[in-house]
């Protein structure tokens, strides 16, 4: 099979999951964002920032440019939900989400299919030589599954 077909399938999956999550978040009220996904667990606002932050780092992980909004990582990736999350308004997070995903769409669409099968920045050349399946496309597939996992949590709310 052609590499373009694999890339097209992966990007369709990514775009579907991003669109589903975006539609969900866009339908929420300010109060809805404060709901916990389960008693004592993260609030929806935290998951919104979590996905936005994780995706903002994706361009750097893939070696396609600098991370977008790396300052979100300490609050939404390296710490559980807490008071620091409330320093970001829903409007800010919506803007960040839109900017991150617009940028990723541009970067992904510009990347030649064969470049998706190259090493990403979270591994060494030696590791990649030992396991070339750990490539940029595998990172995209992993991030797509990550969105689907959290979307499953969200729909249970």
Query: How much is the pTM?
Result: 0.95
Share the mean pLDDT of the chain.
96
Instruction: State the pLDDT at residue 1.
Output: 63
Mean pLDDT of 14-37: 97
Instruction: State the pLDDT at residue 38.
Output: 85
Mean pLDDT of 50-69: 97
| Structure-token pair, residue 35 | 């709901």
Give one DSSP letter per residue of 63-111, joined into a string. TSS--S-GGGHHHHTSS-SSGGGGGS-HHHHHHHHHHHHHHHHHHHHHS
Burial 87-122 (b: 16+ CB within 10 A, else e): ebebeebeebbeebbebbeeebeebeeebbeebbee
Instruction: State the pLDDT at residue 59.
Output: 97
Residue 132: CB atoms within 10 A of its CB come to 12
pLDDT of 112 above 70? yes
Provide the residue ranges of all domains of the chain, joining segments of one domain with +.
3-156
Instruction: State the pLDDT at residue 12.
Output: 98
pLDDT of 146 above 90? yes
More confident residue, 141 or 156: 141
Instruction: State the pLDDT at residue 156.
Output: 87
Mean pLDDT of 104-119: 97
What is the CATH number assigned to the segment(s) 3-156? 1.20.120.450
For residue 141, the surrounding DSSP H or E stretch is helix 136-156
pLDDT in tens, 117-130: 999 999 999 999 99
Mean pLDDT of 97-117: 98
CB 41 within 8 A of CB 151: no
Instruction: State the pLDDT at residue 39.
Output: 86
Spatial neighbors of 78 by CB under 8 A, at least 6 apart, are: none
């Amino acid at each position: 099979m052609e590499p373009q077909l694999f890339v097209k399938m992966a990007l369709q999956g990514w775009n579907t999951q991003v669109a589903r999550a975006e539609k969900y978040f866009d339908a929420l009220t300010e109060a809805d964002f404060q709901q916990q996904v389960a008693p004592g667990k993260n609030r929806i606002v935290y998951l919104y920032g979590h996905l936005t932050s994780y995706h903002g780092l994706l361009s750097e992980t893939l070696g396609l440019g600098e991370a977008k909004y790396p300052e979100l990582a300490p609050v939404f990736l390296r710490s559980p939900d807490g008071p620091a999350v409330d320093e970001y308004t829903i409007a800010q997070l919506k803007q960040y989400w839109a900017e991150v995903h617009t940028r990723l769409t541009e970067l992904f669409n510009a990347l030649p299919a064969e470049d998706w099968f190259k090493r990403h920045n979270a591994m060494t050349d030696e590791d990649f030589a030992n396991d070339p399946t750990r490539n940029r496309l595998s990172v995209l597939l992993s991030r797509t599954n990550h969105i689907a996992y959290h979307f499953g949590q969200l729909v249970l709310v």
